[in-house]
Structure 1
Amino acid sequence: MDNQKVIIFDTTLRDGEQSPGAAMTHDEKLRIAKALEKLKVDVIEAGFAMASPGDFEAIQTIASTIKDSTVCSLSRALEQDIDQAAKALRQANSGRIHTFIATSPIHMQHKLCMTPEQVIERATLAVRHARNLIDDVEFSCEDAGRSDIDFLCRIIEAAINAGATTINIPDTVGYALPHQFGETIKTLLEKIPNADKAIFSVHCHNDLGLAVANSLAAVVNGARQIECTINGLGERAGNASLEELVMAIRTRKDSLNLTTNINTLQIVPTSKLVSGVTGFPIQPNKAIVGANAFAHESGIHQDGIIKFRETYEIMKAEDVGWNTNRLILGKLSGRHAFRTRMEELGITFRDAEELNTAFAHFKSLADKKTEIFDDDLQALASDVRNQQLEEKYSLVMLEAGSSTSMTPKAKLVVSINGKETAVTSEGDGPVDAVFKAIEKIVDSRAQLTLYNVNAITSGTDSQGDVSVRLEKDGRIVNGSGADTDIVIASAKAYINALNLLDHRPRKTHPQTGTV
C-alpha cells in the first residue's frame, strides 16, 4: 500500500443513519451507495446486518450492486452478528466485516459487566471467527479515546494475531484533543509488536467540534484510514466530515504530504443527495458544501477575488462540484431526455410505471417553474419515492390561506387506508393550521420536535424542501416533502413522517444491543 494514501471509509449509511430521524429506505440507501462509489470512497459501511431485516436486505443489495468500493457490515463481537454480516456480504465483489467491543474502563464495567481479560478473549474469538468467513476484517476498540493505553496495546496485538487486517481507534464520545489523540496513535504504532501487520484507522465524533482535527492529527501520526460521513452526519454532534477531511488533505498537501482516491467533483452532488434523503439541511456557512462556502459579500473581498482569486479562496468551487448544472427542459420535453438526465444524476427507476409517475411530476413542476435544476430533480425523485411507500396516510386535497385581518385556516382531505376524511382547522399560521387539521384526523399523539424549510434552488419560484421531525414512544422519524408551495410541502412532510412512524421497524442499536 502507498504509505501516503489515506483510505476513506464512509459510514454515512451506518453511523450517519443513527442520527435521530435520519433513517433511510432501502432505495435511498442504494442511491447513496451508488453516489459514494462515484465519489470513489474506498470503503462503504452499508449498515449493521443484525440490526433489522431491512438493514440486512439493504447491505445485501448494496453488496451485490457496488463493484468499485469495499462494502462493509458492522457487527458486535458476537458470533451470530458476525454470521449475519457474512451472509449479507456474500455477493460482494469486495467485502469487510467490522466487529467491535468496548475497551474503556467505564464501558467494560458499567455496560459490558466484563473484566479486561474477558474482553480480550471475546475480541480474539470474534476476530478469528470473522476471519474464517472473510479475508478483510476490521476490529474496533469502542471508546478507545478513554481507554488505558497499555490495555489497548494488549487487545490490539491479540486482534491482529487473530487475523484483523484493520484496527480502528474510535473517539466514540468525542472526548479527545488533537495533540493527545495524535500521540495515542503514535504510541500504539510504536509499542505494539505486530502493528505493521494491520492498517490503523480512526473514527472521531464531533461532540467538542474536534472530529476533523483529531482525524488529521491521527493520520499525521501514522493512521492510514479515516472513518467519516457526508456532511458530518452521525449520532449526537455527528462524525468527522468527509468533505472537510478530503479537502484539507488535498489543499494542504504541502504540509500533510498525503493523498486520497476521492473524486472531489462529486462532493457537492453527494452532499446534496444525503441532505435531501435524510432531511438534514446543510448550514449555509458549512465548510466546502455550504451555500456561503465560496460566497463573498465584503467589498474588499470581492475586489480581491476579481483581481486574483487566491487572495481569499484557497480552493476552487468547481473542484468540489459547485458547477450549477441546469436542465433546460420544459413541458414539451420528452421522457427520454428526462430519464437520461436522471440517470446521469444516479437516479434510476424500477420500472416503466415509476418512470411515468416521475415524468408526470416533472411535467407538473415544469408548469410552475421556468428552469429546472439538478437539485429540483433530486427532490422530485425523493418525493416520488416517498409517495410510493406503503402509505397508511395520503394527502388528497388541501386549501389554506392567511390574512392580516383573519385567523389562518386550512381545509384538507386525508386518506387513511383508502378512506377519505375532510376537516377544517385554524392555527397561528397556515402551516400550523394544516398540522392541526391533520392531527384532528389521525390523532397520532406524536410530538413535533423539528420543522425546517429550505429553498432547493434560488429564485421566488424555487421548490421548498420541508423537513418535519416527529417523536413518539422513543421513536424519532424525519419526514420530507417538496413543492413550490411551502404549505403543501409542509403537509407532505408531516404525512410522510406519520407513515414512517407507522411502518418503519425498530432496529437494534449497535452500541447498546437494545432497540
Structure 2
Amino acid sequence: MTDTVRIFDTTLRDGEQSPGVALSTQEKLAIAEQLARLGVDYLEAGFPQASPGDFEAVSRIAENIKGPTITALARCNRQDIEQAARALEKADKARIHVFIATSPIHMQAKLRMTPEQVLERIDQMVRVARMYVDDVEFSCEDATRSQVEFLVQAGQLAVDAGATTLNFPDTVGYTTPREYFQLITHLRKAIADPRITLSVHCHDDLGLAVANSLSGIEAGCRQVEVAINGIGERAGNASLEEVVMTLTARQDQYHVQHHIKTQEIYRASQLVSQLTGMPVQPNKAIVGKNAFRHESGIHQDGMLKDRSTYEILTPEAVGWGMTKLVLGKHSGRHALRQRLEELGLHATQSQIDQIQQRVKTLGELKSDINDQDLEAIWQEEVGQVRRSRNTELVHWQVSTGSHNRPVAYVSVRVGQEIREDSGSGDGPVHALFQAFARALSLDHVQLTSYHLAPISPGEAGLASVRVEIHGYDCETRGQAADSDVMKATAVALHEALAYLFERVQNVVA
C-alpha cells in the first residue's frame, strides 16, 4: 500500500515572516480559503501570542475554514500555549505546534538554558498543550545543528508527554540532502513508535530546502512543512508546489501519495504573490511565467511533434490556462457576489458596491474581466494592509514629453486641510514621488523599489504597481492596480507615503 505524505502549509505563519510582508486578516482569510481548496492537510494560521492581529487572524481562520487541521504556533511556555488554545477554540480540527531550540548555540546564546532545563520545559509544556488538544506537534528548533542524541532525548520526552508529531527543522538551511537523510533515518530508528509522525521543515539559505525535504521523505518522514512560492524567513521555505509536483511526477522514486489538488496550485501561487506583494521570479519552477514556455527552435520543433519531448508536466496539471472569464460591464451584484465567494474573497455589501463600480469602469475598456482582475480589485477595496486613515488623494497630474522634464502636481487632503505641491524628476514616477513627499512634508525619504507587473492581458488589462519607501527608520509599501499605469503609480505612492506620514505624526502606532 502506498504511504501518504501530509502537507503542512506554513504560508500564513513562516511565510508571512518574509521581510516586508504584512497581511491583513481579510487577506489571510482569502489565502486560507484557497489553501483549503488546494487540499492541504494542516494549515498553520499564525502565532497567536505574537500580536492581537495574529490572534484575530488565527481565530477567524479557525472559525471559518473547513477541511484542513488549523494549527497555531506556540513557544514552550504556558502563556503562548493558552493563547494558541483560545485562538483555536472554534476550529473543527485543531493542533497546537510547540517548539523550543535544541542546538548548543541557541540554548546557550538565546535561551540561556541548560540542556536539562530545556528537557524539563519540553516535558512540562507538551503536557500543557495536550490538556487543550489531542493533536500536538513538537519541534526541535535548529535540529540540524543539534547533537543527535539530545534530539533523541527531546523527541522521546515529547512523545511520552503526549506529542503526536515530531518535527526536526533545518531552521537555518544548514544541512545537505545526504546528511539530513542520515539524521532522519537515525531518529526514526531511535524513536520507534508507529503512532508518531516524523516531519521535516527546511529553509532555503543554501538553495537546498526542497532537496532536503525530499530526502527527509525518503528517510521516512510522512509530514512535510512547506509554503506557497517558497516564501518565508530570509531565503524562504521549501516550496509547496515544487515538493508536491516532484512527488507527483516521480512516484516511481518516492512511492508516496498526497491529498493536494494540483490544478489549484497556480491560482494559489498568484493569490499569495498578489497579496504579499512578492513577485514570482519568471524562471521559478512550476509557477514562474517561463515554466512552460519554449523559445529554442529545437525545443519548439520537439514540442510540436510531441509535448513530452520537453515537458515532464503539463501546465494544465497545475492550473495554468484555467482562469475563468466571468464578468463584464453588464454583470450584476448577484453574479459578482457569487464569483467573489467562489474565489474565497469576502466583502460587505458596501464593499461589493465599490467593487462593482470598479468592474463596470474596467468593463468599458475590456470585454471580459478575469479572476486576476477581480482579485486585484478586491485587494484594492477590501484587503489592503495599510490604507491611510487620515489622508486622501484628491487629485494628481503628470506632464512629460521627449523635450520636457517630467513635472507632477498632487493634491492631498490631510484631515480638513488640502495640501497641494509639485515635483520634478528624472521620470514621471520620480516626479510624482517628489510631489507627494513635498505635499506631506516628508524629508529624507527614498523610493527603494518600484515594480510594475501585468495582471491580465490586452491593451486595457490591469497592471499592478508595488512600491517600497524608506525613511525615518521605517520601511513602508504601497500597492495599487489599474488599467492606467500612472494612476496605479500615484495611488501606490500615496498609500506608502501617507502611511509613513501618519507614523511620523504618531497617528499610526
TM > 0.5: yes
Tell me if the contact between 2:27 and 2:383 (Cα under 8 Å) persists in the aligned partners: no
1:391-411 Cα distance to aligned partner (Å, 9 max, x none): 223322111132121111111
Tell me if the contact between 2:347 and 2:382 (Cα under 8 Å) persists in the aligned partners: no
Asked if residue 131 in structure 1 is aligned to residue 130 in structure 2, the reply is yes
Q: Distance in 2 between matches of 1:503 and 1:44?
A: 34
Offset of residue 483 of structure 1: 1.1
Q: Which residue of 2 aligns with 1:293?
A: 291
**CA 1:477–1:103 in structure 2 vs 1: closer, same or farther (change >3 Å)?**
farther
1:280-333 Cα distance to aligned partner (Å, 9 max, x none): 011111111111111111122112112111111111111111124242543233
Q: Which residue of 2 aligns with 1:78?
A: 77
Q: Distance in 2 between matches of 1:392 and 1:91?
A: 35
Runs of 4+ off more than 6 Å: none
Tell me if the contact between 2:316 and 2:322 (Cα under 8 Å) persists in the aligned partners: no
Asked if residue 426 in structure 1 is aligned to residue 424 in structure 2, the reply is yes
Offset of residue 7 of structure 1: 0.6
User: Which secondary structure does the structure 2 equivalent of 1:176 belong to?
Assistant: coil
Q: Which amino acid aligns with 1:142?
A: E
User: Which secondary structure does the structure 1 equivalent of 2:479 belong to?
Assistant: strand
Asked if residue 33 in structure 1 is aligned to residue 38 in structure 2, the reply is no
**CA 1:66–1:199 in structure 2 vs 1: closer, same or farther (change >3 Å)?**
same
Tell me if the contact between 1:391 and 1:417 (Cα under 8 Å) persists in the aligned partners: no
Once structures 1 and 2 are overlaid, which stretch shifts more, 2-11 or 181-190? 2-11
Tell me if the contact between 1:326 and 1:372 (Cα under 8 Å) persists in the aligned partners: no
User: Which secondary structure does the structure 2 equivalent of 1:402 belong to?
Assistant: strand
Q: Which amino acid aligns with 1:378?
A: E
Q: Which amino acid aligns with 2:134?
A: D
Q: Which residue of 2 aligns with 1:273?
A: 271
User: Which secondary structure does the structure 1 equivalent of 2:451 belong to?
Assistant: strand
Asked if residue 402 in structure 1 is aligned to residue 403 in structure 2, the reply is no
Asked if residue 249 in structure 1 is aligned to residue 247 in structure 2, the reply is yes
Unpaired runs of 5+ residues, structure 2, are 504-509
Asked if residue 337 in structure 1 is aligned to residue 335 in structure 2, the reply is yes
Q: Which residue of 2 aligns with 1:315?
A: 313
Give the 5 Å matches for 1:90-489.
90-192=89-191, 194-327=192-325, 329-350=327-348, 352-385=349-382, 389=387, 391-444=389-442, 445-472=444-471, 475-489=474-488
Q: Which residue of 2 aligns with 1:511?
A: none
User: Which secondary structure does the structure 1 equivalent of 2:4 belong to?
Assistant: coil
Q: Which amino acid aligns with 1:105?
A: P
Q: Which residue of 1 aligns with 2:489?
A: 490
User: Which secondary structure does the structure 2 equivalent of 1:164 belong to?
Assistant: coil
Offset of residue 218 of structure 1: 0.2
Once structures 1 and 2 are overlaid, which stretch shifts more, 474-483 or 274-283? 474-483
> What TM-score do you get using the length of structure 2 for normalisation?
0.94
Q: Which amino acid aligns with 1:392?
A: N
User: Which secondary structure does the structure 1 equivalent of 2:256 belong to?
Assistant: coil
Sequence identity percentage: 49
Q: Which residue of 1 aligns with 2:506?
A: none
1:88-119 Cα distance to aligned partner (Å, 9 max, x none): 00111001111111111111111111111111
Give the 5 Å matches for 1:22-61.
22-61=21-60
Q: Which amino acid aligns with 1:11?
A: T
1:202-240 Cα distance to aligned partner (Å, 9 max, x none): 111011111000000000000111111000011111100
Offset of residue 477 of structure 1: 4.0
Q: Distance in 2 between matches of 1:235 and 1:449?
A: 21
Q: Which amino acid aligns with 2:225?
A: E
Q: Which amino acid aligns with 1:379?
A: A
Q: Distance in 2 between matches of 1:294 and 1:466?
A: 25
Tell me if the contact between 2:447 and 2:468 (Cα under 8 Å) persists in the aligned partners: yes
Once structures 1 and 2 are overlaid, which stretch shifts more, 46-55 or 298-307? 298-307
**CA 1:476–1:72 in structure 2 vs 1: closer, same or farther (change >3 Å)?**
farther
Q: Distance in 1 between matches of 2:476 and 2:18?
A: 10
Q: Which amino acid aligns with 2:177?
A: P
User: Which secondary structure does the structure 2 equivalent of 1:438 belong to?
Assistant: helix
Unpaired runs of 5+ residues, structure 1, are 505-515
What count of residue pairs does the alignment treat as equivalent?
502
Tell me if the contact between 1:40 and 1:263 (Cα under 8 Å) persists in the aligned partners: yes
Q: Distance in 2 between matches of 1:448 and 1:210?
A: 33
Once structures 1 and 2 are overlaid, which stretch shifts more, 234-243 or 485-494? 485-494
**CA 1:201–1:475 in structure 2 vs 1: closer, same or farther (change >3 Å)?**
farther
Q: Distance in 1 between matches of 2:247 and 2:500?
A: 41
Q: Which residue of 2 aligns with 1:513?
A: none
> What TM-score do you get using the length of structure 1 for normalisation?
0.93
Offset of residue 367 of structure 1: 2.0
Q: Which amino acid aligns with 2:404?
A: M
Q: Distance in 2 between matches of 1:164 and 1:389?
A: 42
Q: Distance in 1 between matches of 2:234 and 2:223?
A: 22
Q: Which residue of 2 aligns with 1:509?
A: none
Q: Which amino acid aligns with 2:426?
A: D
Offset of residue 498 of structure 1: 4.1
Offset of residue 478 of structure 1: 3.4
**CA 1:186–1:472 in structure 2 vs 1: closer, same or farther (change >3 Å)?**
farther
Tell me if the contact between 2:49 and 2:80 (Cα under 8 Å) persists in the aligned partners: yes
User: Which secondary structure does the structure 1 equivalent of 2:99 belong to?
Assistant: strand
Offset of residue 386 of structure 1: 5.1
Tell me if the contact between 1:206 and 1:237 (Cα under 8 Å) persists in the aligned partners: yes
Q: Which amino acid aligns with 2:21?
A: A
User: Which secondary structure does the structure 2 equivalent of 1:215 belong to?
Assistant: helix
Offset of residue 474 of structure 1: 5.6
Tell me if the contact between 1:326 and 1:371 (Cα under 8 Å) persists in the aligned partners: no
Once structures 1 and 2 are overlaid, which stretch shifts more, 274-283 or 487-496? 487-496
User: Which secondary structure does the structure 2 equivalent of 1:408 belong to?
Assistant: strand
Q: Distance in 2 between matches of 1:230 and 1:402?
A: 41
Q: Which residue of 1 aligns with 2:3?
A: 4
**CA 1:490–1:187 in structure 2 vs 1: closer, same or farther (change >3 Å)?**
same
Q: Which amino acid aligns with 2:447?
A: L
Once structures 1 and 2 are overlaid, which stretch shifts more, 258-267 or 394-403? 394-403
